[in-house]
Amino acid sequence: MSFEELRIIQVDNDCLFCRIVAGEIPATVVYETETTLAFRDIDPKAPVHILVIPRAHHADVAALAAADPALAADVLAAAGAVAEAEGLSADGYRLIFNTGRFGGQEVFHVHGHVVGGSPLGPMLSIA
């Protein structure tokens, strides 16, 4: 199956991040591969705040890992590449997958938050 066919099959028009993947909603893309996309968070919580997603729709990181472990690995590798490209690797950064309601997940297309650029403290928030 070609990449284009895969994209058409797996775009969910009700999903905000699927619409970003499809180019229907603009985003500031900083990194992309055949299977992943990374773009700046619209409401950054740190000097660098980038979202890394698989192009294919999976609701959360557990669902992604269960359905397609190779794609989960692609997302982790993309997060590392983004951190390197943004100059975060030397001082460190945080990679967060909010999961479910109690985890604060608002967009149910799995995304890793790459946050850094300043000291983040022991936790972002447990409030």
98 contacts 53 by C-beta, under 8 angstroms:
no
Q: Could you give the CA distance from residue 79 to residue 50 in angstroms, rounded to a whole number? A: 9
- Applying CB under 5 A, among 57, 61, 111, 112 the residue interacting with Zn ion is 57
- Applying CB under 6 A, among 70, 106, 125, 126 the residue interacting with ligand AMP is 106
Residue 47 found at the interface with ligand AMP (CB under 6 A): no
Q: Could you give the CA distance from residue 21 to residue 14 in angstroms, rounded to a whole number? A: 12
CB of 121 to ligand AMP, least distance (A): 18
- Applying CB under 6 A, among 1, 42, 90, 126 the residue interacting with ligand AMP is 42
Residue 12 found at the interface with Zn ion (CB under 5 A): yes
> Which two three-digit tokens encode residue 108?
């149910």
CB of 99 to ligand AMP, least distance (A): 8
For the chain, helix (H) and strand (E) counts, in that order, are 4, 5
Candidates 37-45, 59-67, 81-89, 117-125: pick the segment binding ligand AMP (CB under 6 A): 37-45
97 contacts 111 by C-beta, under 8 angstroms:
yes
Q: Could you give the CA distance from residue 72 to residue 63 in angstroms, rounded to a whole number? A: 10
Residues lying near Zn ion in the complex (CB under 5 A): 12, 15, 17-18, 57, 109
